[in-house]
Structure 1
Amino acid sequence: MTKKALAILLSIATAIALFSGCKREAPPEHQLVVQTTAQVTEDTEGFKISYSQSDSLNPFESDTLNNQTAQDLVFEPLFRIDESFEAVPEIASSYTYEDSDTLTVTIVSGLTFSDGSPLTAKNVVSSFNEAKQSPRWKNSLAPIYSASTVSDTVIKFKMSYANPYAHQLLTFYISKVTDNSKFPIGSGRYKFTESEGKLFAEKNELYKEEFNPRFTKIQLVNVPSAESINNAINIGNISYAYRDNPNDSITRLKCGKKQVALNNMVYLGLHTSMGATSKQEVRRAISLAVDRTTLAKSAYQGYARPSTSLFNPVSRIGRETQIFADSADITAAKQALASAGYSDGDVKLKIVVNQNEQRVAVAKLVERQLESAGFDVTVKSYNQKVFNDALKYGTYDIYIGETKIPNDMRLSSFFDKKGKTAFGINTDSQTSSLYRDYLNGKAELGKFILSFSEDMPFIPVVYRNGVICYSKAMHGDMQGSYGNFFSNIEDWYYN
C-alpha cells in the first residue's frame, strides 16, 4: 500500500470516529508496518544494468568492469570488504589463524548453489585455484599459495609469510560450471537466465528466505564501452552503473550518485638515490608543501580523499596511523628546505607523468604548490612508453603514480626489489627492512611508521573514489561499496 493510500484510509478512519462520537485508540504501530510492508510489488521490467556481450560472465575469465559489477548479483565470496575496508563474513562463518602461516576458514553449513546442488569446501578450493590464475585476483591472492579441504565445511589456507589480515584477501567468488547450465552458477541473490534472446539476473529462490526484493528480474543490456554506459545511464536506458574512474563526464551525468571508497593510492614517487630528492629534508619539504585537499577537490572533482596516512584514510589502520596533514604548510616546507642548505629557487625538480588526465592535473597542481615553497619545477607529460622508460632509467625527480593497495593493506610493492612501485626507493634502507620485519611479525607497525615519516621514500597524496550512478526515479537508501555494489538492493524501488 502506498503512503498516499494509507494517508487517505487514516483520514477516513479519523472522520468516522469524530462523527460517531466514539473514542477509539490508534492501531498499534506494528499493525501499520505490516500493512505497508505486506504489499511488495514485484518489478520484472524496470531495473536494468549494463554488460558486455563480448566478454565472459565467468568471474575468473571476465575483464570488463560492467560484467564484473553484474557478477556481484550472482556470486558470493567467503568475505566481503565493507566501506571501512574491514572483512565481513559472507559464505564464511568463522576463521582462525592456527599459526603464522596457516589460516583456517569455516563456511556456513547447508549452503547451496542456485541450481540446488550443495556448496562445500571443495567448491571453495576449486574456485580459489581458478582465482589464483585469473587476472582479477591473481595479484591480491599471491601471498596465499595453497588451499585444501579439511572437511565439507572447513578450508585450510597456507600463506607465504605471516599476515594477520590474510582473510581480507578471500574476496574471490565461489562458482561452478555445469553441463546443464549455459552460465556459471553461484549462490548469491540472483542467477543468470536467458529468455527470448535477452539476458537477465533473476531472483534466486534458494537464497535467504528474508531476501524479498522488488526487482525480481533484472535485464542485462549490452552496452560495451564506458562512454556508451555513461550515455545509457544519462538517457535512462539502464538504471544503474558503477564507474571506477570519475571524471568530468561523470560529474555531468543526470543521475543520483553515491561515492565508493577505493583502495587506489595516488602518490608522488621520489628518486631517493640522486639529486636533491636524495636528501630526507627535501623529501619532507615536498610532502609539507603538498595540499592534499586541493588535489582531491580539483584534480579528482571531489572523488578522492586526502591521504593523511600511508593507508586508506577510511580504514581503521589509516585512522590510527595519520602522519600527513590534509593541507599544505608552506612555512614548515621552507624551513625543511633551509635545513637541507637550500634557498628559494635553488632546488630544480623534474616531475614526469603519463597522459592520464587526472594525474596530469595532479602534476600541474603539485608544480604550483612546490613553487610556492621555493622549488623550481618542470612538468613533463609523456606517453606510456616514454613514461615507463623515464622510471626505468631514473630520468626524473618526482613521478605521479597510482597503485591499487590489496585489501590486507600490504605495501610490499614499494619495499621489495622486484616491486612494481619500487622505482627510486632504496629497498635496502632501514625503512624497507622495518616493513619486511613488520610483515614477518618482528617489528611493530608504529616503529615502521615512525621510520617512514622521517625517511619519506614516497609521498601518498590521495586515495581515489569510484561512484555508483543510478536513476533519479529510483528510491531507497542507496548503499554499496567496492565489491558489494548491490548491498541493499532489496530496499530499492520505483514509484
Structure 2
Amino acid sequence: MQIKKMLRLSIALCLAVTVSLPGCGLYDLPDEIDDPSPSIEDFAVEPKQTQTNKRGDEIFSLVYDTGASLNPLTCADSSNTVLMGLMFEGLFYIDEEFTAQPLLCRSWTSLDGLNFIFEIRNGIIFHDGTDMTADDVVYSVNHARTIGPYVNRLSCVSDVFSENGLVKIVLSKPNMQFPALLDIPVMKSGTGDDTIPVGTGPYTYTEAADYRFLSAFTQYRDYTKLPIQRFYLKEYETEDLIQAFEKSYIDLVVTNTSEPGFVQFSEEFEKRLAATTEMHFLGFNNKQGYCASALRRLILSSLIDRDSLTTTLLPDTVPVVLPVNPLSPLYLMEVADTALIKPESINDFMISAFVEDFDHDEELEYISNNQVTDFALDMIVNRENNKKVSAARQIAETWKSKGYNIILHEMSWDAYQTALNAGQYDIFYGEVKLTCDFDLSELLGTSGTANFGVSDSELDSLIYAFNSSGKETRLEATKDLFVYLCDNVYIAPLLFEKLAVFTHRGVVSNMIPTQQNIYHRIKDWHIEF
C-alpha cells in the first residue's frame, strides 16, 4: 500500500501530468535542425481542420523531460512516468474494474495464496530482439523489490525463482489477489539500472538527428493494430504546458483536480476520467473521548454530505462509504446501502447514543459514566492541499449545524504528523493510495504502517480471510469484512479520486485510460487528424 504524505509517508503533490497526443502516419525527419531546443512558437501549425479543437497536423507529440530517465523504477518525473505504459508491460494488466488480467503471463495457479506458479507467454520479444524468458521475469520482480515505487507492495514476497521455464513466487502471507500487484514492468535481465531499460511494450525509444520519439516496435505482437508509427517527444517548461495544449502543440493532458497545481481546461476539450485507488477518509481516535463509541462514530459519518463534497469541492471524484473503488466488483451495494443511518433516523440514534443538548445551550453533550459531559472535537487536516482543507471545513460546518463543537486545526505537515503519531486528535482527514487488491492490512491491521490507533484482533482475522479467500469464498469474505467495518466505523470513507485526461475534440477515440496506464489498450485507439 502506498500511503500519501497525508498519512505519514511521502505526499505526492501532483502537478499536472501532461502528455501529448495526435498524429497518424510516418513523417520523414529533416536532415538538419537549426535550434535543438525550440520554443513553443516553433511548433505552431496552421490548422487544416475547421472543427473546434481538432488537430491540424499529423504529428502526435508527447511531453518528455530530457533531464529525467525513462526507467520505471527510478523515474520521478510525472511526464516521463506516463510514457512507461507505451514502453513496458507486466505479467498482468489492471482493467477498468481493478481486476488483474493476464498480459505477459499465459496462466497462473495457486492453491493456498502463498505459492504461485506463472506460465509466461511464448513469442514475447524485447526491444533488442531477444526472447523474454522466465529468468527475465524473476530478475524484474527481484529488482522491483529493492528499489522504486513497487517496494512496498512486494514486501510480502519471500522468494522468486524460475524452474523448468515457469516463474515461481512464494509469499510470506497468503494473498489470492496477488496477481493484482504484478503489473510491474518486465525488463531484460541486467538492464534494470539503465536509464532506459529494455522492455517489451508496443513502442521503443528512438533518437534521430535532434529528434526524440517513441517508435512502433515492429516485432510487437500487435504491431499491425497500433494507431500510429511515432509519438514525437517534446519538452516544455511547466508554465508553458497549458498554452502548448490549448494551441495544439501537444495533444493530451493528464491531471488530478484533487491535488495542488492541477490543470483545468474548458469543456471545449474532450475529457475522460480514469478511476483510481486514492481514497479520502476520516480517521477517529477510538481509544478515548467522544469517538471511543462506534455508534457515535457512525452518527458523525452518517451526517456527512458526500455527494456535496464530490460535486462542489472535489469534482472528478466519486463518493463512497466502503474502502474500495465503486467500479470494483468488491464494492458490495447490499452492504453500502445500509452502511449509514438514514437522515430521518439520525435523531433516534443520537438519543440511543445518549447524545443530546441536555442543558439547552445549543451545543451537544453526551452521557459518560452517568454524567452529562460537555465536549469539543479536535479535527486535524494537513493545510498543504487547499481542496482537502475546504472539504474538512465543510464537514466541520455540517457537524456544527447539528450542535457539535468542532475545533478544526489546519496544520503544517510536521505538526500534523506529530499529532497523528501522538494521538492528539479526535478526528483526522486522511488520504491513502490503496493497492489494486484493496488489501487493508497497512491501513487498518494492528501492525499496519498507516494504522493510527486501530487494534482489533477480529478485524485482523477478517482482513486475513479477505486476502486469502479464493474465487468461491471471496464474496462471503468481502461481505463479512465490510459489514464489520460498517458496524465499527474505525474510518469513514469519503471518496475516491479520478484522473482527468483531456484531448482535443474528435482526435482520439476508443481510449479507455486507467490509473496504471493512460495508454491502456493502445491497439484499440483510433487517431484522426
Partner SS state of residue 130, structure 1: helix
In 2, Cα distance between equivalents of 1:233 and 1:329? 46
Q: Bigger radius of gyration, 1 or 2?
A: 1
Q: Is the 8 A contact 2:181 2:436 kept in 1?
A: yes
Does 2:84 correspond to 1:71?
yes
Q: Is the 8 A contact 1:312 1:463 kept in 2?
A: yes
Match of 1:362 in 2: 391
Match of 1:197 in 2: 210
Partner SS state of residue 332, structure 2: helix
In 2, Cα distance between equivalents of 1:104 and 1:287? 43
**Aligned positions of 1:298-317 closer than 5 A:** 298-301=312-315, 303-317=316-330
In 2, Cα distance between equivalents of 1:231 and 1:399? 38
Partner SS state of residue 257, structure 1: strand
TM-score by length of 1: 0.84
Match of 1:265 in 2: 279
Q: Is the 8 A contact 1:293 1:326 kept in 2?
A: no
Match of 1:234 in 2: 246
In 2, Cα distance between equivalents of 1:468 and 1:328? 36
Match of 2:376 in 1: 348
Matched letter for residue 430 of structure 1 = E
Partner SS state of residue 137, structure 2: helix
Per-residue CA deviations over 1:418-457 (Å, capped at 9, x if unaligned) read: 42321132x1353344334544569933333222221111
For residues 110 and 440 of structure 1, do their structure 2 counterparts lie closer, same or farther at Cα, with a shift above 3 Å needed?
closer
Match of 1:99 in 2: 112
In 2, Cα distance between equivalents of 1:309 and 1:269? 13
Match of 1:159 in 2: 171
Match of 2:459 in 1: 431
Deviation at 1:330, TM superposition (A): 3.6
**Aligned positions of 1:13-92 closer than 5 A:** 42-44=25-27, 46-92=59-105
In 2, Cα distance between equivalents of 1:449 and 1:364? 28
Deviation at 1:316, TM superposition (A): 0.5
In 2, Cα distance between equivalents of 1:333 and 1:424? 27
Q: Is the 8 A contact 1:234 1:255 kept in 2?
A: no
In 2, Cα distance between equivalents of 1:462 and 1:325? 17
Partner SS state of residue 174, structure 1: coil
- Please point out which of 405, 423, 443 is paired with 1:394: 423
In 2, Cα distance between equivalents of 1:406 and 1:204? 31
Does 2:224 correspond to 1:211?
yes
In 2, Cα distance between equivalents of 1:134 and 1:223? 29
Does 2:522 correspond to 1:493?
no
Match of 2:6 in 1: none
For residues 395 and 78 of structure 1, do their structure 2 counterparts lie closer, same or farther at Cα, with a shift above 3 Å needed?
same
For residues 224 and 62 of structure 1, do their structure 2 counterparts lie closer, same or farther at Cα, with a shift above 3 Å needed?
farther
Q: Is the 8 A contact 2:255 2:262 kept in 1?
A: no
State the aligned residue count.
Answer: 451
Does 2:402 correspond to 1:373?
yes
Q: Is the 8 A contact 2:175 2:467 kept in 1?
A: yes
Does 2:451 correspond to 1:413?
no
Matched letter for residue 449 of structure 1 = F
Partner SS state of residue 318, structure 1: coil
Matched letter for residue 516 of structure 2 = G
In 1, Cα distance between equivalents of 2:456 and 2:338? 28
Does 2:411 correspond to 1:382?
yes
In 2, Cα distance between equivalents of 1:446 and 1:325? 12
Partner SS state of residue 110, structure 2: strand
In 2, Cα distance between equivalents of 1:322 and 1:450? 6
Higher helix proportion (structure 1 or 2): 1
Match of 1:276 in 2: 290
In 1, Cα distance between equivalents of 2:240 and 2:429? 29
**Aligned positions of 1:161-180 closer than 5 A:** 161-176=173-188
For residues 195 and 387 of structure 1, do their structure 2 counterparts lie closer, same or farther at Cα, with a shift above 3 Å needed?
same
For residues 98 and 165 of structure 1, do their structure 2 counterparts lie closer, same or farther at Cα, with a shift above 3 Å needed?
same
Q: Is the 8 A contact 2:71 2:196 kept in 1?
A: yes
Match of 1:297 in 2: 311
For residues 328 and 147 of structure 1, do their structure 2 counterparts lie closer, same or farther at Cα, with a shift above 3 Å needed?
same
Q: Is the 8 A contact 2:271 2:500 kept in 1?
A: yes
Partner SS state of residue 317, structure 1: coil
Per-residue CA deviations over 1:128-169 (Å, capped at 9, x if unaligned) read: 1111122311112222232111233x2011111111101111
For residues 326 and 285 of structure 1, do their structure 2 counterparts lie closer, same or farther at Cα, with a shift above 3 Å needed?
closer
Per-residue CA deviations over 1:163-217 (Å, capped at 9, x if unaligned) read: 11011110100113669x9732211110011122332110000012463334211
- Please point out which of 432, 435, 443 is paired with 1:403: 432
Match of 2:35 in 1: none
Match of 1:467 in 2: 500
**Aligned positions of 1:114-193 closer than 5 A:** 114-152=127-165, 154-176=166-188, 183-193=196-206
In 2, Cα distance between equivalents of 1:465 and 1:178? 33
Q: Is the 8 A contact 1:233 1:255 kept in 2?
A: no
Q: Is the 8 A contact 1:330 1:372 kept in 2?
A: no
TM-score by length of 2: 0.79
Match of 1:5 in 2: none
Deviation at 1:351, TM superposition (A): 1.4
In 2, Cα distance between equivalents of 1:246 and 1:234? 21
In 2, Cα distance between equivalents of 1:333 and 1:222? 55
For residues 457 and 261 of structure 1, do their structure 2 counterparts lie closer, same or farther at Cα, with a shift above 3 Å needed?
same
Per-residue CA deviations over 1:260-298 (Å, capped at 9, x if unaligned) read: 000111100111001100111110001111121111112
